[in-house]
Chains A and B, each alone.
Chain A
Amino acid sequence: MTAHSDIAPSDVSLPAAPSKDAVKKRGTRRKALGRTLLLPGQLISLFVLVVPLLVAFYMSFTDWSPTRGALSSAQFIGLFNYEELLVYDTRFVEAVLRTLVFGVVCLSLEFLIGLGLAVLFLRRFRGKALLFSMLLTPMMVLPVVVGYTFWMLFQSNGPINQLIELTLGAGAAPDWFKSAISAQITVVVTEVWHWTPLFFLILLSGLNAVPENPVRAAVILGANPRQVFWRVVLPMLLPVIVIAFVIRAMEIIKLFDEVFMLTRGGPGSSTETISLYIYKLAFNDFQLAYGAAAAFLVLIGTLGLVHLLLTPVRNQLLEARG
Chain B
Amino acid sequence: MSNRDKLQSEATKLDVGSISRRTFMSRMAALGVSTAVANFIVQSPLGASKALAAIAGPEERAWELAKEMAAKAEKKTLTLLIPTGSIGNMTPYVDKWQNELGIALEFIEEPDEVVHTKGMQEAVAKTGRYDVMMPTAMSYPDWIDSGVIYDLTEWTETYNPELFNPDFGVVFPASHHAQLYNGRVAGLLNDGDQITLIGRGDYIEAKAKEFEDKFGYPLTMPKTWKQYYEIASFMHDPENNFFGSLEYRSRYYVKWMFMQRLMSKGRLYFDGDMNPTFNSDEGLAALEDMLAMNAYLHPDAFSFTWSSNYNSFGRGEGFMNIVWPSGYKYSMNPKTGPATHGKIAATVMPSDTLADGTELHAGLFCWGYGYAVSKYSANPELAYAYAQWMTSPTIGADAIPYLGGYSDPYRVNHMKDPTPRLVDTYGTPYLETLYDNMVNTVPDFCLPGGFEYQDALDKEIHACMTGAKSPKEALDDAARSVDRITRRVGRDKVKASWMALAKNLAGPIKKASGADGWV
Q: Do A and B bind each other?
A: yes
Q: Which residues of A contact B444 (CB under 8 A)?
A: none
Question: Roughly how many angstroms separate A91 CA and B488 CA in the complex, as a whole number?
Answer: 15
CB <8 Å contact, A179 and B451: no
> Of A218-226, A249-257, A265-273, which stretch is located at the interface?
A265-273
Chain A residue nearest to B113 (CB atoms) is A284
Q: Which residues of A contact B481 (CB under 8 A)?
A: 91
Question: Roughly how many angstroms separate A116 CA and B339 CA in the complex, as a whole number?
Answer: 54
Question: Roughly how many angstroms separate A93 CA and B18 CA in the complex, as a whole number?
Answer: 79
Main secondary structure of the interface of B (DSSP, over half): helix
Q: Interface code A269-280, partner B: CB below 8 Å = 1, 0 otherwise?
A: 110000000000
CB <8 Å contact, A66 and B146: yes
Question: Roughly how many angstroms separate A291 CA and B451 CA in the complex, as a whole number?
Answer: 16
CB <8 Å contact, B303 and A178: yes
A102 at the interface (CB under 8 A from B): no
Chain A residue nearest to B146 (CB atoms) is A66
Known contacts A66-B146, A284-B451; A180 and B466 CB within 8 A of each other: yes
Known contacts A66-B120, A67-B145, A177-B303; A290 and B462 CB within 8 A of each other: no
Q: What are 13 A-B interface contacts by the 8 Å CB criterion?
A: A66-B120, A69-B147, A156-B300, A175-B299, A178-B302, A179-B467, A180-B466, A267-B251, A268-B460, A268-B466, A270-B468, A285-B452, A290-B488
CB <8 Å contact, B117 and A268: no
B219 at the interface (CB under 8 A from A): no
Q: Which residues of A contact B484 (CB under 8 A)?
A: 84, 88-89
Q: Which residues of B contact A321 (CB under 8 A)?
A: none
B191 at the interface (CB under 8 A from A): no
Q: Interface code B125-158, partner A: CB below 8 Å = 1, 0 otherwise?
A: 0000000000000000010011110000000000
Known contacts A269-B459, A284-B117; A178 and B466 CB within 8 A of each other: yes
Question: Roughly how many angstroms separate A84 CA and B484 CA in the complex, as a whole number?
Answer: 8
CB <8 Å contact, B468 and A285: no
Chain A residue nearest to B300 (CB atoms) is A156
CB <8 Å contact, B462 and A266: yes
Chain B residue nearest to A157 (CB atoms) is B300
Question: Roughly how many angstroms separate A67 CA and B451 CA in the complex, as a whole number?
Answer: 13
Question: Roughly how many angstroms separate A283 CA and B449 CA in the complex, as a whole number?
Answer: 13
CB <8 Å contact, B145 and A68: yes
Known contacts A67-B146, A284-B117, A290-B488; A156 and B303 CB within 8 A of each other: yes
B337 at the interface (CB under 8 A from A): no
Question: Roughly how many angstroms separate A157 CA and B276 CA in the complex, as a whole number?
Answer: 39
CB <8 Å contact, B303 and A286: no
- Residues of B whose CB lies within 8 Å of any CB of A are 117, 120, 123-124, 142, 145-148, 251, 299-300, 302-303, 448-449, 451-452, 455, 459-460, 462-463, 466-468, 481, 484, 488-489
In chain A between 100 and 121, which residues have their CB closer than 8 angstroms to a CB of chain B?
Answer: none
Chain A residue nearest to B467 (CB atoms) is A179
A287 at the interface (CB under 8 A from B): yes
B331 to chain A, nearest CB (A): 22
Q: Which residues of B contact A180 (CB under 8 A)?
A: 466, 468
Question: Roughly how many angstroms separate A286 CA and B142 CA in the complex, as a whole number?
Answer: 10
- Which one of A65, A69, A266 lies within 8 Å of B251 (CB-CB)? A266
B300 to chain A, nearest CB (A): 7
Known contacts A66-B120, A179-B467; A268 and B448 CB within 8 A of each other: no
In chain A between 231 and 283, which residues have their CB closer than 8 angstroms to a CB of chain B?
Answer: 264, 266-270, 283
CB <8 Å contact, B466 and A285: no
Main secondary structure of the interface of A (DSSP, over half): loop
Q: Which residues of A contact B463 (CB under 8 A)?
A: 267-268
- Which one of A65, A179, A290 lies within 8 Å of B468 (CB-CB)? A179
Question: Roughly how many angstroms separate A178 CA and B459 CA in the complex, as a whole number?
Answer: 12
Chain A residue nearest to B145 (CB atoms) is A67
Question: Roughly how many angstroms separate A288 CA and B148 CA in the complex, as a whole number?
Answer: 16
A158 to chain B, nearest CB (A): 12
Question: Roughly how many angstroms separate A290 CA and B452 CA in the complex, as a whole number?
Answer: 13
Chain A residue nearest to B141 (CB atoms) is A67
CB <8 Å contact, A286 and B251: no
Chain B residue nearest to A264 (CB atoms) is B251
Q: Which residues of B contact A89 (CB under 8 A)?
A: 484
Question: Roughly how many angstroms separate A155 CA and B122 CA in the complex, as a whole number?
Answer: 35
Chain A residue nearest to B302 (CB atoms) is A178
Chain A residue nearest to B451 (CB atoms) is A285
In order of increasing CB-CB distance, the 4 nearest A-B pairs are A66-B146, A67-B145, A268-B463, A66-B123
Question: Roughly how many angstroms separate A211 CA and B174 CA in the complex, as a whole number?
Answer: 79
Question: Roughly how many angstroms separate A284 CA and B428 CA in the complex, as a whole number?
Answer: 41
Question: Roughly how many angstroms separate A284 CA and B460 CA in the complex, as a whole number?
Answer: 18
Q: Which residues of B contact A284 (CB under 8 A)?
A: 117, 451, 455
Question: Roughly how many angstroms separate A266 CA and B113 CA in the complex, as a whole number?
Answer: 15
A71 to chain B, nearest CB (A): 9
Question: Roughly how many angstroms separate A245 CA and B312 CA in the complex, as a whole number?
Answer: 47
Known contacts A67-B145, A267-B463; A287 and B468 CB within 8 A of each other: no
A269 to chain B, nearest CB (A): 6
Question: Roughly how many angstroms separate A77 CA and B76 CA in the complex, as a whole number?
Answer: 46
Q: Which residues of B contact A286 (CB under 8 A)?
A: 117, 120, 123-124, 142, 146
Question: Roughly how many angstroms separate A67 CA and B467 CA in the complex, as a whole number?
Answer: 36
A179 to chain B, nearest CB (A): 5
Q: Which residues of B contact A175 (CB under 8 A)?
A: 299, 302-303
Q: Which residues of B contact A67 (CB under 8 A)?
A: 123, 142, 145-146, 448, 489
Q: Interface code A72-109, partner B: CB below 8 Å = 1, 0 otherwise?
A: 00000000000010001101000000000000000000
A138 to chain B, nearest CB (A): 26
> Knowing that A284-B451, A288-B124 are A-B contacts, what are 9 other residue pairs whose CB atoms are under 8 Å apart, sorted by A's residue number?
A67-B146, A67-B448, A68-B145, A84-B484, A91-B481, A178-B303, A268-B463, A284-B455, A285-B451
CB <8 Å contact, A268 and B462: yes
A81 to chain B, nearest CB (A): 9
Known contacts A156-B303, A268-B462, A270-B468; A84 and B488 CB within 8 A of each other: yes
Question: Roughly how many angstroms separate A68 CA and B462 CA in the complex, as a whole number?
Answer: 31
Q: Which residues of A contact B448 (CB under 8 A)?
A: 67
Question: Roughly how many angstroms separate A2 CA and B146 CA in the complex, as a whole number?
Answer: 43
A209 to chain B, nearest CB (A): 48
Question: Roughly how many angstroms separate A69 CA and B300 CA in the complex, as a whole number?
Answer: 43
Most buried by B among A84, A91, A284: A284
Q: Which residues of A contact B117 (CB under 8 A)?
A: 283-284, 286
